[in-house]
Structure 1
Amino acid sequence: MDENAGGQEFGDEVYQPQDGPEGREDDGVLDPEDTLNERETEPYDEGYSPPERPLGVDSHGTTAREQREGESLDERLAEERPDPASEPPAEGDGVGDLPGGEGEPLDDQVGEERAGRLVAPDEGAREDAEKDMIAEDVGISGGAASAEEAAVHRVPDEDERSR
């Protein structure tokens, strides 16, 4: 190994760090700005969405005593649910989204043809001077409609229904 004037040793002219108190410390946890996660916002600004219902609160084994005693075979079998794919399909009334149940009936006031984007005559460029809300259907914009726009359907007129 070569030695320079400062007393540091070099191997093949490349600095080799020495182990010691000033050596590299690796705690294994990176700072958020050093990770590869591309987060646009702060984690606290994103919010938290809790589960719909508490998970595991009513299940067996949440207390230390239950964990020690274990669960009997009868208790385990009571928790099992049958596979819905193995059951024959329930006969429904053809209405709504629940098989065999009451659902929402189809209304003749709801059209099947989707409406396009509704745009004001001034295309939203100026302040509206009219009291009435007026808009024109300008067609579907490449299928990139918001959920609200996609929910709007065209209701045919009376003379169109009779055709």
Structure 2
Amino acid sequence: MADEQDQAESLDDDRVAGAYPPDRPLGVDAYGTTGSEERWDEPLPERVAREEPDELARALDEQGSLVAPDEGVHDDTDAEAVAYLAGGEDVGALDADDIATGDTTVRDVVQEREADVPAEEAAVHVVGDEPT
């Protein structure tokens, strides 16, 4: 029995790193530790006072703009302009009936080249009218 207990304890991954419990309590002075504070949200000015600035945002502000001021901003409303800006060759408009590629023959060829159909899928198929 003792061997089983030792083995079970050796499998525990719930090891606490560092000194626990900490030397001083954490979060005792934080909002929401009393019952009355839990019932109401923390006032916004207090929340804002506790916020810490985002280091990445500060670094980006110091670094400058990622886009040159003369490049301007392009709207993503015109599909042709968006496709042109993204690059690649112009393949023309897609067929409204085929949302995948616009060409039903491509889809048919791909399906024909797939591996054999599994037995479960082959057993479930649509059969024409049965003779009466």
| TM-score, length of structure 1 as denominator length | 0.25
- Which has the larger Rg? 1
| Larger RCO, structure (CA 8 Å, separation 6 or more) | 1
| TM-score when normalising by structure 2 | 0.30
